[in-house]
Structure 1
Amino acid sequence: MDGRAKECEEDLKRLRRNRGLCLARADQIGAALRDACGVNDEDTPAQVVDKVSAAVRRHAAALGSEQRLAALTALGLDGPRTRFLRDRQRWLSEQLDRNFRTAQRRIDEGFAELASLLTAANAPTAARSGAAWRTERLRVLLALDQQQPEAFLFRQVVANTAELEEIELAVTLTSSGASGRENDVSVDVFSGGTLVHRRRESQDRIGLALRLPEPLRQGQRHEIALRLRVAEMLPHYVCVPESSCEEFDLTVRFGARLPRSVSLLEKVFQNDVSDDSVTGKPLDPDASGEVRVRFRQLEPGFAYGIRWEGCPQEPR
Structure 2
Amino acid sequence: MSNADDTREDGAVALRAALVALRATGIHRADRFSQVLLDTLNISDSDSAARTRELVRRSLLSCTDRLNDRPRKAFLEAAGFRRDAPPTRGARLQATADLFGVSQRTAYRMVDDAIDTLVSMLLSNQERCVLQDVDYVFAGARCRVDMSGPKPAVVMERTITARSEGIDHTDERIGFPRLAGEHLGLRALEGCSIGDLKFVAPGTWALRLLLPKKLHPGEQHSFAFSVILPDHASLDPLVGFLPHTATYDAEVELLFGESRPNALQQFVSTPPLEPEAHVPPEQWSQPVARRHLFRFDQMQPGLCYGVRWRW
* Alignment TM-score, normalising by the size of structure 2: 0.59
- How far off its partner does 1:294 sit? 0.3
Q: Which amino acid aligns with 1:42?
A: D
Closer, same or farther: CA 167–115 of 1 in aligned 2, 3 Å:
same
1:84-233 → structure 2 map (5 Å cutoff):
115=123, 117-118=125-126, 120-121=128-129, 123=130, 125-126=131-132, 128=133, 131-172=134-175, 174-177=176-179, 179=180, 181-183=181-183, 185-231=184-230, 232-233=234-235
Partner of 2:307: 306
The answer (yes or no) to whether the contact 2:154–2:226 under 8 Å persists in 1 is yes
Percent identity, please.
Answer: 17
SS at match of 2:69: coil
Which residue of structure 2 lines up, in the alignment, with residue 258 of structure 1? 260
Assess if the C-alpha contact under 8 Å between 2:61 and 2:163 holds in 1: no
Deviation at 1:297, TM superposition (A): 1.1
Q: Which residue identity lines up with residue 251 of structure 2 in the other structure?
A: D
The question of whether the paired residues in 1 share the 8 Å contact of 2:193 and 2:210 is answered with yes
Deviations 1:110-130 (A, max 9, x none): x99x83744544x5x24x2xx
SS in 2 for 1:212: strand
Greater than 4 Å deviation, 4+ residue runs: 6-9, 32-35, 284-287
CA distance 1:285–1:40, change in 2 (3 Å): farther
> Any conservation in 2 of the 1:134–1:159 contact (CA below 8 Å)?
yes
Name the CA shift for 1:35/1:212 in 2 (closer, same or farther; >3 Å).
closer
Task: Report the counterpart of residue 244 of structure 1 in structure 2.
Answer: 246
Structure 1 unaligned segments of length 5 or more: list them: 1-5, 15-31, 45-110, 311-316
Taking the TM superposition and a 5 Å limit, the aligned residue runs for 1:8-87 are: 10=12, 36=63, 38-42=65-69
- TM-aligned CA distance change 1:9 to 1:303, over 3 Å: farther
**1:188-246 CA-partner distances (Å, limit 9, x unpaired):** 00111221111123323321112211100011000111011223211111111111111
Distance 2:10 2:240 in 1: 35
Q: Which residue of 2 aligns with 1:18?
A: none
Q: Aligned pair in 2 of structure 1 residues 115, 171: CA closer, same or farther (>3 Å)? A: same
Q: Number of matched residues?
A: 210
Does the CA-based 8 Å contact 2:135-2:163 persist in structure 1? yes
Match for 1:250: what amino acid? V
SS across alignment from 2:226: strand
Residues 119, 247 of structure 1: alpha-carbon distance in 2 compared, 3 angstrom cutoff: closer
- Tell me, yes or no, if the aligned pair for 1:249 and 1:292 is still in contact at 8 Å: yes
Quick one: distance in 1 between partners of 2:262 and 2:207? 35
Provide the rounded CA distance (Å) in 1 between the counterparts of 2:310 and 2:295: 20
SS of 2:185's equivalent in the other structure is strand
Aligned-residue offset at 1:261: 1.3
1:39–1:269 CA distance, 2 compared to 1 (3 A): closer
* Cα separation, partners in 2 of 1:206 and 1:213, compared to 1, 3 Å: same
Distance 2:148 2:237 in 1: 13
State the alpha-carbon separation in 2 of the partners of residues 7 and 163 from structure 1. Answer: 39
Residues 137/285 of structure 1: CA separation in 2 closer, same or farther (3 Å cut): farther
Quote the offset at 1:139 in angstroms.
1.3
Counterpart of 1:163 in structure 2: which amino acid? G
2:142 is paired with a residue whose SS is strand
- Residue 154 of structure 1 and its aligned partner are, at CA, apart by 1.0
Q: Aligned to 2:258, what secondary structure does the other structure show?
A: coil
Shift in alpha-carbon separation, 1:272–1:163, aligned structure 2, 3 A? closer
Compared with structure 1, are the counterparts of its residues 36 and 196 closer, same or farther at alpha carbon in structure 2 (3 Å cutoff)?
closer
Separation (CA, whole Å) in 1 of partners of 2:197 and 2:62: 36
